[in-house]
């Protein structure tokens, strides 16, 4: 199993989630976060925004579904401008369901 963590623009959230669902990924965790990337914030006139609003999605997928899920995020989140976001993929060793006590092993 893999854990995908994606930091995306809030305005692209619906497109990303729709793309994930279209590719069979229904479960995810979503958080509102603040952050900045290489551009170090945003300058609008005389005002500088050091941190920008972003959405952090965490998605656990089986290895076979990884490429489809990552592609759905890339397509849904991309505007072509700085600040589109970042996708991190890491190994997920184990996932346990509290209610059923079942375990999925990576």
Q: Is the pLDDT of residue 41 over 90?
A: no
Q: Which has more confidence, 15 or 50?
A: 15
User: Please, which pLDDT band fits residue 39 given cuts at 50, 70 and 90?
Assistant: confident
pLDDT in tens, 70-88: 999 999 999 999 899 999 9
CATH topology of domain 2-105: Alpha-Beta Plaits (3.30.70)
Q: What pLDDT, on the 0 to 100 scale, is given for residue 104?
A: 85
Closest by Cα among 38, 62, 65 to 52: 38
- Are the C-beta atoms of residues 36 and 9 closer than 8 Å to each other? no
Query: Is the pLDDT at 37 greater than 90, yes or no?
Result: no
């Amino acid at each position: 199993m893999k854990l995908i963590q994606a930091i995306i623009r809030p305005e692209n959230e619906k497109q990303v989630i729709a793309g994930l669902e279209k590719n069979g990924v229904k479960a995810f965790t979503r958080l509102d976060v603040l952050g900045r990337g290489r551009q170090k914030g945003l300058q609008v006139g005389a005002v500088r925004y050091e941190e920008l609003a972003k959405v952090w999605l965490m998605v656990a997928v089986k290895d076979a579904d990884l490429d489809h899920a990552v592609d759905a995020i890339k397509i849904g989140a991309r505007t072509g401008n700085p600040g589109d976001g970042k996708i991190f993929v890491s190994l997920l060793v184990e996932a346990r369901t509290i209610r059923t006590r079942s375990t999925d092993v990576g």
